[in-house]
Structure 1
Amino acid sequence: MRAERFAGRGRAYGPVMTVTSTATDRSPAPGRAARPPRPFVGELRLPAFGPHRRTVLPLGPLTLLAGGSGSGKSTALRGYEALARLAAGDPLEDVFPDPAAWVPERAGADAQGRRGFRLGCTVEGPAGPVKLELAVQAEPTLRIVGERLTDHGETLLTTALRDPRGSAVQAAWHTAGAVPVTRAPFPDDRLGTALLPLRVAGTTAGQLRVLAAAEQVVVALRSAFVCDPVPGRMRAAVPVGEGRLTSGCDNLAEVLYRTHSQCAQRHARLVAGADAGCAGRVTGLGVERLEDGRVLARTERGPGHSTPLGRLGDGELRYLALALVLLTGPHVLVVDPVAEVPSAMQALTVLADGFDRCMDARQTGELLALAASVCAGGHMRLLGTVTEATAAVARATAGVAVVDLSR
C-alpha cells in the first residue's frame, strides 16, 4: 500500500490509499495492452464514503479485504453493491434507505445545510478503462448531484444539479456529430449512465462510443451477486420453486435438488468439496422429497447412511453454500444478467462479506483454493472480507490479492 498525491485543477487532493495487485486477467500482446473481452470492475474508489477518505482499491479476479474492526471492509463491499444496484436501475432511496449513515464522519455541511458522499469505479473491457464518478447529496434531501463518465480521460457524460428546487439534473453527453454535445434533464434519483442506452440513438461515432462505455459499465456492475449464507435459515425443508439461490442461501435444499439432476459434473465437484470441508466422510449430497412437496437436503455418509444437512455446523453450512456459488455460477443464482449480452461476455462478481465467518482453518484453506481455481477461469470474480488470520493464509495462496485496510 502506498500514499500518492493526486493533482487536479491546480491543487493537491491529499494522500490516497491505494493497494497494488499483481493479479491480471489476461496477458497483453507484445507492444500493446490487451482489452479483456468480459467487462469487469478493476478498481473501486471511495473518496468520501463512510469511514473511507480517498480510498482506491484495485480489484483482481480474487480480492480479499482485511483489517481491524472499523477499517471499512464491509463498507467497501456496500459501496460496490450500491453501484451495482444503481446500474441495474434501482432508485436512489432503495439503495440508500439511511443515506446519512454513509456521509463521512465529521463532514461539515455547506451554507445550505447540504452534506453527502462520493464513490466510483473503473471498468475494464472492450471499450478500454471507463471511469464512473458519483456524488450523492444525503441531506437535506437524497439526490444525485453529480455524475461523470470518462474513457481514456475524455469526458463522455456529465450531470450537474442546476436547480436545487427541481427533481432533475442537467445531463450532457458527447455526440461528435453536427451537435458535439447533447443536453437533456435526467432524474436525480437514477444513475445517468444506466439511462444512456435509452437516450442515445447511436447514429454517430461519438454516440456509439458513449453507448459502448455506458453499456460496459452497466454490464460489469449488474453482474454482481451478494452472498452472505445464514446457517440458521439453511436447515429447514423448503418448497420447490425456480431453484435460484438467494443471497442468504436459505433455499439451499431447493438448489441442491436442481443441481443434483441438472448439473451432474458440478454436483460431483461440490460433493468432493463437501467431503474435504465437512467433518466426517461425505459421499453424496441428496435431497429428500417430503409428503407436503417440500425438499430436505441430506448428506450421504456411506452405503445406506445419511443425515439431514441441517445437522451440519454453521461453518460447514457456510462453507458448502459458498462452494455451491463458486461451482455453479449465475445459472443457479438470483442475479439479473444483461439479457442482450451473451453469458460468455459477462463475468459474475460474488460479494462475500465475512468470507471465512464461522469456518475453521481447514475449511478456509479448502475454500480459498477452490475460489482461486474458479476465479482463474475468468468467468467468476470474488470480492470478500476476511479476518487477519485468514489474510495470512490467503497471502500465500496463488491467485489471491489481499488488501489490508488498516495500513
Structure 2
Amino acid sequence: MTVIPQGKTAPPPSRAARPARPRVGEARLDAFASHRRTVIPLGPLTLLTGGSGSGKSTALRGYEALARLAAGDQLEEVFPDPAAWVPEWAGADAQGRRGFRLGCTVDGPAGRVRLDLAVQAEPALRIVGERLADHEGTLLSTALRDPRRATVQAAWHTAGTVPVTRAPFPGDRLGTALLPLRVAGTTDGELRVLAAAEQVVVALRSVFVCDPLPERMRAAVQAGDGRLTSDCGNLAEVLDRTRTLCARRHARLVAGADTGCVGPVTGLSAERLADGTVRARMDRGPGRGTPLGRLGDGELRYLGLTLALLTGSQAMASDPHTEVPSAMQAVTVLADGLDRNLDTRQIRELLTLAAAVCAGGHTRLLGTVGEAAADAAREAAGVTVVDLAP
C-alpha cells in the first residue's frame, strides 16, 4: 500500500456504521520535517516502511506529538527543539516566521472529525492556527491576532442566540483539549462541539511508546506499581503482577514466549531476592529455568513487545482517559523499529499475535519496519502496510 495523496475527505460513514470506540483513521503531515502533504491511513495494525530518509520515524513522532497535546501537555514540552520539525524547504515570511503543520482524522460516535494544527517554530514557539471540523463544517477555529500576546483568538460553534462564541485561548496548548473546560453544552451546537472534541481527545491521548531496551531488561528491579514502562526495564515486576492478577493474559504471554523464544517455555515467573528486588525467570519445565538476563537481545525485545500488546492500558505507564468507560478506550502502541533484532520467525509470530490482539479493538499498533519485515507483513492478515516514498 502506498501513501494516499492529499485530497478531498471521504464521505462520513452512516450513523449505523460509525464505530462505538473512537479511532484515528488517518494522520496528516502537511508540512512536518521531511513530509509534505503526506496522508497516512491507519488501521488497527499499521506498519510504516520505506528507505532511509523516507520519514518513518518522523511520522511516529508526529502522531506522538498530537497525542501529547491532546493529553494537555504544553507545546514546549512536546517540541523542545521546534526548529527540527520545520521543513527545510519552508522559507520564512516577511516577519521571519517559520513553522510546521500536521493533523489527523478521527472516526467515532460523532462521525468523522478532522483536526488541523499550524505551529510557529520561529521566532517564538506557539500555535498560530487550529481547526476542528466535522462533515457539516467548522466547529472550532483559532487564529493569531496579536503576536505580542501569548494567546490566540478562538471561535467555536454555538448555534444558540449567538451563533459563534469567541474567547482567547493560550497559544501553548491544544484548543480542542480545552473545549470540555470552556463549553457549557447548553445548546445543540455546543453539544456537537463537545462530542467532536472529546472524540478526538479520547482517540489520541491513550498512547504508549514502546521501545524495549534489552540492557535495562536484564537487571533485577525494585518493586513498584507494576505499570509497564516504555523501555520495558521493569518487565520482571510486571510479570509478577500479571501472573497473580490476570491468569488468562499471563497464559497468552507464556504461549507467545514459547513461540518466539528458543527452546520450550512453560512459564514466566518473578522471584523476590534478598535485597527486595525482583528478577524475572523463564521456566523450561520441571526443575529447569533460565533467568531472563541470559536471553539474547532479540528474545528480550520480542518479550517486551509481546507484553506491551497483551498488557492493556490500565497496566501501562501511559495516560488513559479515566473519565471515559474502558469499553470506549483503545490504547495505541507506538513501536519505532518494531523488527529491530528480531529474526524472521519472531517477526512472523509477533505479527500474528499483534493482528489477533488489535482485532479485539482495545489495542492498536503503529510501528515502523524494514523491507524484509514489510514483505512478511504484506502476507499477514489484518496488517496495513504503508510504503513511504523517500
> Does 2:31 align with 1:43?
no
Query: Cα gap change, 1:303/1:35 in structure 2, threshold over 3 Å: closer, same or farther?
Result: same
Residue in 2 that maps onto 1:335: 318
1:332 is displaced (CA, Å) by: 1.3
Residue in 1 that maps onto 2:360: 377
Question: Matched residues in 1 for 2:51 and 2:316: separation?
Answer: 31
1:2 is displaced (CA, Å) by: 6.6
Q: CA offsets, 1:18-58, max 9 Å, x none?
A: 9x9xxxxxxx8xx8750100001001000000100000011
> Does 2:224 align with 1:241?
yes
Report if the CA contact (8 A) 2:145-2:153 is conserved: yes
Scaled by the length of structure 1, what TM-score is found?
0.93
Query: Aligned to 1:284, which of 251, 267, 286?
Result: 267
> Does 2:157 align with 1:174?
yes
Alignment of 1:133-148 (within 5 A): 133-148=116-131
> Does 2:336 align with 1:353?
yes
Report if the CA contact (8 A) 2:4-2:38 is conserved: no
Alignment of 1:114-129 (within 5 A): 114-129=97-112
Q: Kindly provide the amino acid, as one letter, of the partner of residue 368 in structure 2.
A: T
Residue in 2 that maps onto 1:11: none
> Does 2:257 align with 1:274?
yes
Scaled by the length of structure 2, what TM-score is found?
0.97
Give the count of matched residue pairs. Answer: 387
Residue in 1 that maps onto 2:302: 319
Q: Kindly provide the amino acid, as one letter, of the partner of residue 111 in structure 1.
A: A
Q: CA RMSD in A?
A: 1.5
Question: Matched residues in 2 for 1:280 and 1:243: separation?
Answer: 28
> Does 2:369 align with 1:386?
yes
Higher relative contact order (CA 8 A, sep 6+): 2
Query: Cα gap change, 1:342/1:311 in structure 2, threshold over 3 Å: closer, same or farther?
Result: same
1:177 is displaced (CA, Å) by: 0.4
Question: Matched residues in 1 for 2:103 and 2:61: separation?
Answer: 12
Q: CA offsets, 1:147-170, max 9 Å, x none?
A: 000011500000000001110000
Instruction: Answer with 392-401 or 276-285: which moved more.
Output: 276-285
Query: Aligned to 2:348, which of 358, 365, 379?
Result: 365
Q: CA offsets, 1:230-286, max 9 Å, x none?
A: 111111110111000011111111100101111111111111111111111111111
1:3 is displaced (CA, Å) by: 6.6
Q: CA offsets, 1:75-103, max 9 Å, x none?
A: 00000000000000000000000000000
Report if the CA contact (8 A) 2:3-2:40 is conserved: no
Query: Cα gap change, 1:2/1:225 in structure 2, threshold over 3 Å: closer, same or farther?
Result: closer
Q: Kindly provide the amino acid, as one letter, of the partner of residue 353 in structure 1.
A: D
1:383 is displaced (CA, Å) by: 0.5
Question: Matched residues in 1 for 2:64 and 2:97: separation?
Answer: 24
Question: Matched residues in 2 for 1:310 and 1:132: separation?
Answer: 45
1:106 is displaced (CA, Å) by: 2.6
Query: Aligned to 2:215, which of 221, 232, 256?
Result: 232
Question: Matched residues in 1 for 2:16 and 2:297: separation?
Answer: 45
For the residue of structure 2 that corresponds to 1:68, the secondary structure is coil
Q: Kindly provide the amino acid, as one letter, of the partner of residue 135 in structure 2.
A: H
Query: Cα gap change, 1:6/1:371 in structure 2, threshold over 3 Å: closer, same or farther?
Result: closer
1:406 is displaced (CA, Å) by: 2.1
